């Protein structure tokens, strides 16, 4: 793992699977990274892998989908839906999921870490 200007390289873009998630350990936190592909358009998202309802690191195994034009991850345990852009839980407005800026640079997936 390499760090540059608060961006940390976590894996290669070839490690990502279309319309699925993978998990990376970054600074002792499990981070789920998702590749959302529709047609020729690809989007990459990153969130905490911790499901606040199931109390387990499982979100990378969830289902990707769309609800009212929002890209979501659906927890594999109790099926709560979380917006991948904001982290808001669409099923319980008191719960949010940590989300992180993510990008692909020179075929490397990079996550932006807080200062």
Listed residue (30, 25, 67) closest to 50, CA to CA: 30
- Quote the pTM value: 0.92
SS3 71: strand
In the Cβ-directed half-sphere of 8, how many Cα atoms lie within 13 Å? 14
Q: What's the CA gap between 58 and 105, in Å, rounded?
A: 27
pLDDT tens-digit series, residues 62-91: 999 999 999 999 999 999 999 999 999 999
The full set of domains in the chain, from first to last, is: 2-112 (2.102.10.10)
Average pLDDT over residues 40-62: 97
- At residue 114, the pLDDT reads 72
């Amino acid at each position: 793992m390499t760090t540059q200007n608060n961006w940390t390289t976590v894996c290669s873009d070839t490690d990502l699977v279309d319309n699925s998630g993978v998990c990376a350990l970054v600074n002792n936190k499990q981070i789920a990274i998702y590749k959302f592909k529709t047609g020729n358009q690809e989007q990459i998202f990153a969130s905490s892998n911790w499901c606040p309802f199931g109390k387990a690191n499982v979100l990378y195994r969830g289902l990707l989908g769309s609800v009212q034009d929002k890209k979501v991850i659906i927890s594999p345990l109790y099926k709560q839906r979380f917006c991948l852009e904001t982290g808001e839980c669409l099923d319980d407005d008191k719960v949010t999921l940590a989300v992180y800026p993510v990008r692909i640079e020179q075929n490397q997936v990079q996550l932006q870490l807080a200062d």
